[in-house]
Amino acid sequence: MEIADGGDPTSAGRALFSTYTIRDVTFRNRIWVSPMCQYSTPDGVPGQWHLVHLGSLAVGGSGLVMTEATAVTADGRISPHDTGIWTDEQADAWAPIAAFAKAQGAVVGLQLAHAGRKASTYRPWETEHGTVPAGDGGWQTVAPSAIAFDGYTTPTELDRDGIRNIVAAFRAGARRAMRAGFDLVEVHAAHGYLLHQFLSPLSNQRTDEYGGTLENRARLLLEITRAVRDEIGDAPLFVRFSASDWVPGGWDAEQTATVARWAADAGADFFDISSGGLHPDQQITVGPGYQVPFAASVRETAGVPVSAVGIITEPAQAAEIVASGQADAVMLARELLRDPHFPLRAAHELGVEIDYWPNQYLRAKWRA
């Protein structure tokens, strides 16, 4: 892993806009797009909305453009309207989206996901909430244990064959992502979805080799990490963690750091650190940069590279997170929805010269 400071190493702005290399992939800066579900397809096939949404983020100067949580199986979708990567048709539809984003200079990544017991739900803006019934296009969900998320239907506990099928689905999804032209993949083990459900003792009450001890609860994630690494060759592999359940007795930053080290040994290169999403009793104190300390803790304890998320909205704030060594990159979500060109604006405000302003937008660079 290489870091090129691109100029004055004491300048926070230059740190934010320095390049970053993982294996053979170089990111033009440290402002990266966090996965953001769009709930905008009925069959898992991305379309024009996804091209324009992700394409605008690439045009706006982000170093990494990551897709939304993209299901590796049909029953792994968060909602019936989520994108997928379980068919060749879906991979073919992703290909021009990835190609356009790459043509704008961004690195493109696909997040491989399975929602587990939090699958088959209504979209956030719909009037109904909770589990979509089978008659309305929903399905039976699965989980490590038959414990329902609050307000959702009870999932079916995965047996060993089901677990093997999950590993195979992540492997196949990674293979299709590479075929579609993505530069990297991320394994989603956060926000209360399936792999996080296996990791947390609050949702995993199994008594076999996939439950109980930390080693057992991490087993599925590590099997998937090895399988995905085997498929993608030398492409970068990210893992996203929730570093805390924000509930006493749940998953925490110490366990996250331990499993991150194990995942690195299994082939993961980089860790995308968020928090929460597993339990309705979570008590979260929200404020600017509120999740950054989790990233800093995992980075220091595990000795692995990380990105930070959590109400990062100002160029100077983002620059300080990277320049201070709390994280190697920042992942932005809502701020990029408000302003897809945040990286260009940040470079302008911080006085950093970059060479990837689109020609069509140069008047915004040259004039106040």
255-280: average pLDDT: 97
pLDDT score, position 73: 98
Rounded distance between C-alpha atoms, residue 174 and residue 180, angstroms: 10
Lowest mean pLDDT among 26-30, 48-52, 143-147, 347-351: 347-351
Residues present in the chain in total: 368
Confidence label for 366 from pLDDT (cuts 50, 70 and 90) = confident
Confidence label for 32 from pLDDT (cuts 50, 70 and 90) = very high
Query: Percent of the chain beyond pLDDT 70?
Result: 97
Q: Three-state SS for 271? A: strand
**Is the separation of the CB atoms in 256 and 243 below 8 Å?**
yes
Q: What angle do CA 323, 325, 327 make, to 5 degrees?
A: 100
20-24: average pLDDT: 98
Residue 334 backbone zone (phi > 0: left; psi -120 to 50: alpha; other: beta): alpha
DSSP 177: H
Catalytic residue among 20, 39, 122, 193: 193
Lowest mean pLDDT among 2-6, 132-136, 183-187, 337-341: 2-6
Rounded distance between C-alpha atoms, residue 320 and residue 172, angstroms: 39
pLDDT score, position 2: 41
221-250: average pLDDT: 97
Half-sphere exposure of residue 103: CA atoms within 13 angstroms, side-chain side: 9
Neighbours of 350 (CB within 10 A): 17
Per-residue DSSP letters for 301-360?
HH---EEE-SS---HHHHHHHHHTTS-SEEEESHHHHH-TTHHHHHHHHHT---S---GG
pLDDT score, position 5: 45
Q: Check whether 203 has a pLDDT greater than 90.
A: yes
**Is the separation of the CB atoms in 266 and 226 below 8 Å?**
yes
Rounded distance between C-alpha atoms, residue 150 and residue 40, angstroms: 25
**Nearest CA-CA partner of 15 in 236, 326, 364, 296:** 326
pLDDT score, position 365: 84
pTM score, two decimals? Answer: 0.95
pLDDT score, position 319: 97
Rounded distance between C-alpha atoms, residue 19 and residue 248, angstroms: 39
Rounded distance between C-alpha atoms, residue 8 and residue 116, angstroms: 46
Q: Check whether 108 has a pLDDT greater than 70.
A: yes
For residue 193, indicate whether it is catalytic.
yes
Q: Three-state SS for 146? A: coil
Rounded distance between C-alpha atoms, residue 184 and residue 188, angstroms: 13
**Nearest CA-CA partner of 293 in 266, 265, 324:** 324
Half-sphere exposure of residue 353: CA atoms within 13 angstroms, side-chain side: 3
Q: Check whether 7 has a pLDDT greater than 50.
A: no
Rounded distance between C-alpha atoms, residue 141 and residue 74, angstroms: 11
pLDDT score, position 367: 63
Q: What mean pLDDT is reported for the chain?
A: 95
Distances in Å between the Cα of 148 and the Cα atoms of 54, 188, 205, 310, 315 are 33, 20, 12, 27, 40
The structural domains of the chain, ordered by start, are 2-366 (3.20.20.70)
Residues 6 or more apart whose CB falls under 8 angstroms from that of 97 comprise 46, 50, 51, 54, 55
In tens, the pLDDT along 52-89 reads 999 999 999 999 999 999 999 999 999 999 999 999 99
170-183: average pLDDT: 98
289-308: average pLDDT: 97
pLDDT score, position 4: 44
pLDDT score, position 368: 59
Positive or negative, the CA dihedral 238, 217, 84, 310 is negative
Residues 6 or more apart whose CB falls under 8 angstroms from that of 77 comprise 44, 71, 84, 115, 119, 120
Per-residue DSSP letters for 188-228?
EE-TTSHHHHHH-TTT----STTSSSHHHHTHHHHHHHHHH
**Is the separation of the CB atoms in 271 and 305 below 8 Å?**
yes
Backbone angles phi, psi at 188, to 5 degrees: -85, 110
